[in-house]
Amino acid sequence: MFWQDWFIPKPFNSGFLPEKDGHLVYFAEFGNKKGMPVIFFHGGPGGSCKAKYAKTINLRKYRAIMIDQRGCGQSQPLGKLEHNTTQDLLDDVDRLLEHLNIQGKVILRGASWGSTLALLWAEKHPQRVEKLLLSQVFLANQDFHQWEFGGSGYLYPEFVSYMQEESAGKTIDYYNKLIQSDNLQDQLTAANHYGWFERVCGSMNPAFGTFTELSEKELASQRIYMHYSANNFFLSANDILDNINKIKEIEACIVHNRLDLIAPLKGAWDVHCSLKNSHLEIVPDFGHVSKLLNQTITKEFNRALK
């Protein structure tokens, strides 16, 4: 089902999970109250869910459930880093299902960092997962850090070189310290160098260092991302692929741009090859996000959910 561009679904239920560790986690539900639940994991770390994401599935048939991760979006307090780890985020999904009294199987929808969480939660609860709907697959593993400051330098050498020179070879820890400071110039330095890197890798003609100020939400997003990256996303070197045998029988639909320079295609390929019932649609396009990618996601996910 293809929704008109102007259509933005409205939630039939929204609110906060009971407070835990000083966090109030926001959730919203869309679509068919009696339909099979589809849990949406947003990107980042540091992003948020948007109602328009629900349009990628048939809302007359399915129950779309979105959750803003700790410190993100409408969750409170904005940008809070204490008790904000990958395991905390996975535990919040457990709490969400309990709060909504969902006891049966669910479908997991994850994009970018959301695909990381969807795969991790599936490996934690394989018996609870009916299907996986993944796009822009990001494994948050050792390969990513090697690509971030190694492989990508073949395409964007000026930015990688500049960041490493500025930080004296301690890129992640250095910029994480800057973004956590109370000094505005330090925050802007981190945002314009390390924090801007994703936007650089998503462009053929990138602008660099264009942050002149940070809104509260931008600062929160930057702080959360660097907090996770500096801690290796609170994962071991290859957590997802090391445990993927636990979910090898689960049906998966994966959509990924051929020239995604933020989360290279190899991660999606490795997941696809590890699952017995996986369909991988490689989109002939550039970037981590694109119009053709979004169109293909809607088409392929609705095919997978027939």
Whether residues 110 and 162 share a domain: the answer is no
Looking at residue 145, its amino acid is: H
The verdict on residue 7 lying in a domain is no
- Residue 146: per-residue pLDDT: 86
Whether residues 199 and 220 share a domain: the answer is yes
Asked whether residue 203 carries a pLDDT value surpassing 80, the answer given is no
DSSP 8-state symbol, 17: P
What length does the chain have? 306
Asked whether residue 113 carries a pLDDT value surpassing 50, the answer given is yes
The verdict on residue 147 lying in a domain is yes
Give 6's pLDDT tier (boundaries 50, 70, 90).
low
Whether residues 133 and 162 share a domain: the answer is no
What is the percent of the chain with per-residue pLDDT over 90, rounded to a whole number? 76
The verdict on residue 8 lying in a domain is no
The verdict on residue 6 lying in a domain is no
Domain membership of residue 104 as a residue range: 13-141+236-304
Asked whether residue 163 carries a pLDDT value surpassing 70, the answer given is yes
Asked whether residue 5 carries a pLDDT value surpassing 80, the answer given is no
- Residue 298: per-residue pLDDT: 94
- Residue 289: per-residue pLDDT: 92
Extended beta strands in 136-260, E state: 251-259
The domain tally of the chain equals 2
Q: Are 122 and 112 in contact (CB under 8 A)?
A: no
Please identify, among 234, 256, 282, the residue that sits at the C-terminal boundary of a domain. 234
What count of other Cβ atoms lies within 10 Å of the Cβ of residue 82?
12
> Is-catalytic flag, 260?
yes
Q: Which residue has the higher pLDDT, 83 or 168?
A: 83
Whether residues 267 and 208 share a domain: the answer is no
Q: Are 44 and 68 in contact (CB under 8 A)?
A: no
Please identify, among 206, 234, 262, the residue that sits at the C-terminal boundary of a domain. 234
The verdict on residue 5 lying in a domain is no
The residue from 48, 75, 112, 278 that is catalytic is 112
Whether residues 166 and 178 share a domain: the answer is yes
Worst-scoring range by mean pLDDT, 117-121, 158-162, 245-249? 158-162
Please identify, among 183, 208, 234, the residue that sits at the C-terminal boundary of a domain. 234
Supply the CATH number for residue 104's domain: 3.40.50.1820
Q: Which residue has the higher pLDDT, 195 or 119?
A: 119
CB under 8 Å to 53, separation ≥6 — which residues?
Answer: 40, 42, 64, 66, 111
DSSP 8-state symbol, 46: T
The tens digit of pLDDT for each residue in 50-108 reads: 999 998 999 999 999 999 999 999 999 999 999 999 999 999 999 999 999 999 999 99
Give 1's pLDDT tier (boundaries 50, 70, 90).
very low
Whether residues 225 and 282 share a domain: the answer is no
Nearest CA-CA partner of 166 in 144, 195, 194: 194
The residue from 48, 260, 272, 278 that is catalytic is 260
pTM: 0.95
Whether residues 249 and 297 share a domain: the answer is yes
Whether residues 31 and 137 share a domain: the answer is yes
Whether residues 82 and 134 share a domain: the answer is yes
Q: Quote the CA–CA distance of 163 and 286 in Å, as a whole number.
A: 24
Q: For residue 57, give the 3-state DSSP assignment.
A: coil
Whether residues 135 and 240 share a domain: the answer is yes
Mean pLDDT of 250-262: 96
Whether residues 91 and 222 share a domain: the answer is no
> Is-catalytic flag, 288?
yes
Asked whether residue 4 carries a pLDDT value surpassing 90, the answer given is no
> Is-catalytic flag, 14?
no
- Residue 42: per-residue pLDDT: 97
- Residue 145: per-residue pLDDT: 82
List the structure tokens of 288. Answer: 């981590």
The verdict on residue 203 lying in a domain is yes
The verdict on residue 107 lying in a domain is yes
Q: Quote the CA–CA distance of 10 and 66 in Å, as a whole number.
A: 12
Whether residues 185 and 293 share a domain: the answer is no
The verdict on residue 282 lying in a domain is yes
Q: Quote the CA–CA distance of 70 and 77 in Å, as a whole number.
A: 8
Mean pLDDT, the chain, integer: 92
